[in-house]
Amino acid sequence: MLAVLLVVLPVASLIAVGFFARLANLVSDRAGEGISDFVYALAVPCLIFRTLAKAQIPAVQPWGYWISYFAGVAVVWVLATVAARQLYRVNSAEGVVAGFSAGQANTVLVGIPLILKAYGEEGAVPLFLLIAIHLPIMMTVATLLVEGRGASPVTILRRLVTHPIVVAVLAGSASRLLPTGVPDLAWLIIEPIAGAAVPCALVAMGMALRRYGLGSGFGLPAVITVLKLVVHPLVVYLLATQAFSMPRAWAGVAVLFASAPSGINAYLFAERYRSGVGIASSAIGLSTVLSLFTTVFWLAVLGVGVN
């Protein structure tokens, strides 16, 4: 329990820094929006590029592993979107944010340390394999859902190929073809920007929590939290252990990855489109706090301890 608390605590602490900094008027709402723009347009793309450029991709793809995880994403994304649109009457962009919040996991601050503590080196390969494609796929799908409404195919294509996230995915994938790899000088620029993504994003989200509070109400963030912390890992668990055959560690990694709270990128996406920010920030804050308890449950289900 203490080990899980120590994993979640830094996330909550950085969010609290942003919240109280804004509460004390040390920073303005405009500053928070500027930080969010920096993270979305520069820091996260650098993080994606670094992940894809350095990822070890196996020659034979573990399709059961991919299907188990992303089928869970699809289920909670659809359920969250339908609930948001039908029960809470949000607009289409806010519905995308709700679905994204239910499917996007906080991998960097919660998923990585928790999974490596639970499975050690045995879990490293499936973990970083999933990380390499998780964010690019989620961001690209969410962008298509928002950008694709009412736009011509040419406009959609133009927006996608100039979108910072998509550019990062394409550049990171292309960099793997370089015979000598990415030059060291380029890493001197990319690494510090990528390293700023997570702390800056969490502080900015704390500022957004102060600005929006539970402006979207408690109901929808609570629905998203249940979908993220309970339904998503449950679907993945059933598929990974009952429908497909894979090593025990791989199934466990997929479940714990799915059980992580809503990721900061849902908030960044909402800020990018200035829609559903209250939904995303509230869902992230609530799911982060409650994940302390649900993570202990999923560790018990998987029969592993955090060393």
CA dihedral 230→232→235→240, nearest 10 degrees, is -110
Asked if residue 306 has pLDDT above 60, the reply is: no
pTM: 0.78
Short-list 170, 285, 283, 302, CA closest to 233? 302
DSSP string, 233-281: HHHHHHIIIIIS---HHHHHHHHHHHHSPBPHHHHHHHHHHTSSHHHHH
What domains can be seen in the chain, in order of their start residue?
2-302 (1.20.1530.20)
Q: Note the pLDDT of residue 108.
A: 67
Q: Are 107 and 263 in contact (CB under 8 A)?
A: yes
Q: If you average pLDDT over every residue of the chain, what do you get?
A: 85
Please tell me the distance from the alpha carbon of residue 61 to that of residue 59, in angstroms, as a whole number.
6
Q: SS3 for 59?
A: coil
Angle at 102 between CA 304 and CA 290, to 5 degrees: 50
Burial 79-101 (b: 16+ CB within 10 A, else e): bbbebbbeebebeebbbbbbbbb
pLDDT tens digits for range 1-21: 666 666 667 777 888 899 899
pLDDT above 70 for 182: yes
> In this structure, are residues 235 and 62 in contact, taking their beta carbons and an 8 Å threshold?
no
- Distances in Å between the Cα of 160 and the Cα atoms of 98, 149, 167, 175 are 21, 13, 8, 19
- Token pair, residue 297, equals 């449950």
> 307 pLDDT exceeds 60?
no
Is the pLDDT reported for residue 251 higher than 80? yes
Query: Is pLDDT larger for residue 113 or for residue 118?
Result: 118
Assign residue 276 a region (left: φ > 0; alpha: ψ between -120 and 50; beta: otherwise): left
Q: Return the percentage of the chain with pLDDT > 90, whole number.
A: 37
Span between the terminal Cα atoms of the chain, in Å: 11
How far is Cα 205 from Cα 200, in angstroms, rounded to an integer?
Answer: 9
| Model confidence pLDDT, tens digit, residues 197-225 | 888 888 887 887 787 666 556 899 999 99
